[in-house]
Chains A and B, each alone.
Chain A
Amino acid sequence: MHTAIETNTLVKRYGSVTAVDEVTLRVAQGEIYAFLGLNGAGKTTTIRMLLGMVKPTAGEVHVLGTSIRAGHKPPWASVGYLVETPNAYPELTVRENLEAMRRLRPGTEAKAVQRIIDLMGLGTYADRRAGTLSLGNGQRLGLAKALMHQPALLILDEPANGLDPAGIVEIRKLLRELVREQGVTVFMSSHILGEVARLAHRIGIIHQGRLIQELAIAELERNRRRRLVLRTRDCAAAHAVLIEASFAATLLANNTIEMQHEDALARPDAIATRLVQAGHAPTMLTIEEEDLEHYFLRLVGRAEAGREAAQTR
């Protein structure tokens, strides 16, 4: 599979502040790659470097096989993008904003404007001034500008920002279709982690400028922490029974028993049987799976601790 985006030890420093620190990543063609990070983690700076808006202090960026450097012929005809909050010319209508963008993208046919207006559900607003649009419709207009010329690569910074739940589902569906039917590659940053988990093929997590983890969604499933949580009428006694039966169990402060060992997770029925036999039938027994949000925060917290430890040394 060809690489749509490739960065090699990409660094951006602003004075003594390192905004992006040796980020190396590869995004294959036809892939949806989600770039996760807290505010100020370096997501937008990385996206700006991918788009040639900001020059790297060190390292290289290749987009669709072309090096993004001053003096090179960049591949922008095949790239659609949305950086930070979408902004349009407020005095122009939605249609005029799109027409202006079409003319700046030579080769985009005239009917592309109406097509994207229909696709993005902007028909009602087509002849309204962009300055009067709601945040959600402004976002739709921004996405329309990115998609109008049917790009091979989409670089989207928080594409679901400002959209209502129905809009988020619509955009997710649209992006999936583009990837499936046209082989479009999507590189997107997002903080809506549930959305990312539903849409992305791979995830890159950036924290304080460093890419701390890259993983496929399938790996994420494996890495997520799972635990068996149970409750009985007498948790202390039930806990003692489980310990006696050589199960690793922890009695939590909220009068709940937590078990993380693989054996327990694989055989919850055995745990239940043992407790019933001992006269402590569970009133609640469930396997909880860490969601992406918690996984992300755990990872970021670990990176933070590692950095602090390194600084202490």
Chain B
Amino acid sequence: MSNLAPTIWVEFLKARRSKIPWLTLLGFSLVPFIGGFFMIIMKDPDLARRMGMISAKAQIIVGSADWQTYLGLVAQATAIGGMILFGFISSWVFGREYSDHTLKDLLALPTARATIVLAKFVVVLLWSAMLTLIIYLISLGVGAAIDLPPTTAAIFRQGSITIAISAALTIALVTPIAFFASAGRGYLPPLGALVLAVILAQIIAATGWGEYFPWSVPALRAGMAGPQYANLGMISYWIVLLMSFVGIIGTFVWWGLADQSH
């Protein structure tokens, strides 16, 4: 695929000059702090009540204030928050060309449309992965700052792998959102699809069929429904990969073959 590197450079330039990276970082940064907040409460619920951090009637979630629980919370928040945030990034990267009416400038160039689509996917992937890494590093800082008890390297490794896998599965699912942004010609259709996917993921996970619904899989893998459901069968991973592949193909085909009269 010729001219890919310069095309990625162009896509990064567009992202870098916008406010969206900062907004997504700000939004995603809440994850470790919210996790840290829960850890403080779990460490000493009575103190939290006295300080007014929680209501006297609040039910404290089951778990203990340790690295394993904290990293588990970060993984779950990454799976759910990431689905919304990474989906938003994908909506912006693809949908902005329609909303800003800049698409027409990209359609009759010596750089193939497929190269442009691929460059956009690369940017979405790297941007989302970078956010995950930053959030992971902030989480380590927050965990140390709230003085979580020391733990073993194995627990760290396990928690980190869970965050990485949950994030990877979540990132894989942004490709259908890119398709909706392209076929829907703007931001709103993909965001609508995203909200629908998140709602369906909750409902289907609650019915016990979540491992077969792609958008339920990352949160299940992160341990949202409890550690007993976190060990998913290979079929769940294949379903996510298949959905990701469908999104990629759909987006390439749409950019390549559909009438672009917008």
A residues near B, CB below 8 A?
A: 45, 48, 51-55, 70, 74, 76-77, 79, 81, 83-85, 87-92, 96, 99-101, 103-107, 145
Q: Are B108 and A76 in contact (CB under 8 A)?
A: yes
B14 touches A (CB below 8 Å): yes
Q: Which residues does chain A contribute within 8 Å of B13, judged by CB atoms?
A: 92, 96, 99-100
Contact A89 B260 (CB under 8 A): no
Given contacts A70-B256, A103-B10, 16 further A-B contacts (CB under 8 A): A45-B261, A54-B259, A70-B257, A76-B109, A84-B101, A84-B104, A89-B100, A89-B102, A90-B100, A91-B18, A104-B10, A104-B110, A105-B110, A105-B111, A106-B3, A106-B111
Least CB distance from A7 to B in Å reads 16
- Known contacts being A77-B110, A105-B110, is A88 close to B6, with CB within 8 Å? no
Determine the residue in chain A with the shortest Cβ distance to B14.
A89
Q: How many residues of B contact A (CB 8 A)?
A: 28
Q: Which residues of B contact A (CB under 8 A)?
A: 2-3, 6-7, 9-10, 13-14, 17-19, 100-102, 104-111, 116, 256-257, 259-261
CA distance A101 to B6 in the complex (A): 10
Q: How far is the CA of A48 from the CA of B105 in the complex (A)?
A: 11
Q: For the complex formed, measure the closest distance between the CB of A66 and the CB atoms of chain B, giving whole angstroms.
A: 12
The answer on a CB contact under 8 Å between B110 and A106 is yes
**Distance between Cα atoms of A63 and B13 in the complex (Å):** 32
CA distance A107 to B110 in the complex (A): 10
- List of A residues within 8 angstroms of B3 by Cβ: 103-104, 106
Report A74 CB to chain B, min CB distance, Å. Answer: 7
Checking B100, B101, B108 against A81 with a beta-carbon cut-off of 8 angstroms, the contacting residue is: B108
- Nearest residue, chain B, Cβ from A55: B259
CB–CB A52/B108 < 8 A: yes
Q: Are A54 and B261 in contact (CB under 8 A)?
A: yes
Chain B residue nearest in CB terms to A78: B110
B109 touches A104 (CB 8 A): yes
CA distance A260 to B13 in the complex (A): 64
In the complex, which residues of chain B have a beta carbon less than 8 angstroms from the beta carbon of A54?
259-261
Contact between chains at B108 and A74 (CB < 8 Å): yes
- Most B Cβ at <10 Å: residue of A76, A91, A106, A107: A91
- Contacts known (A96-B17, A100-B10, A103-B6); A53 close to B100, Cβ less than 8 A: no
List of A residues within 8 angstroms of B19 by Cβ: 91
Residue of B nearest to A96 (CB): B13
CA distance A70 to B101 in the complex (A): 23
Task: Provide the bound-state CA to CA distance between A52 and B258, in Å.
Answer: 10
Nearest-neighbour CB distance to chain B for A5, whole angstroms, equals 13
Task: Provide the residues of chain A in CB contact with B108, threshold 8 Å.
Answer: 51-53, 74, 76, 79, 81
Give 14 A-B contacts (CB < 8 Å), ordered by A residue: A48-B260, A52-B108, A53-B108, A74-B108, A81-B108, A87-B101, A87-B105, A89-B17, A90-B100, A91-B17, A92-B14, A92-B17, A103-B6, A107-B110
Shortest beta-carbon distance, B133 to chain A, in Å? Answer: 25
Closest Cβ of chain A to B125, distance in Å, is: 20
Distance in angstroms between the alpha carbons of A104 and B108 in the assembled complex: 10
Chain A residues within 8 Å of B257, by CB: 55, 70
Contact assessment for A105 and B10 in the assembled complex, using a CB-CB cutoff below 8 Å: no
**How far in angstroms is the closest Cβ of chain B from A104?**
5
| A77 contacts across to B, CB distance below 8 A | 110
A101 and B104 CA atoms in complex are apart in Å by 12
Q: A78–B17 Cα gap in the complex (Å)?
A: 30
Could you tell me the distance between the alpha carbons of A204 and B10 in the complex, rounded to whole angstroms? 38
- Within the assembled complex, what's the spacing in Å between the Cα atoms of A203 and B262? 27
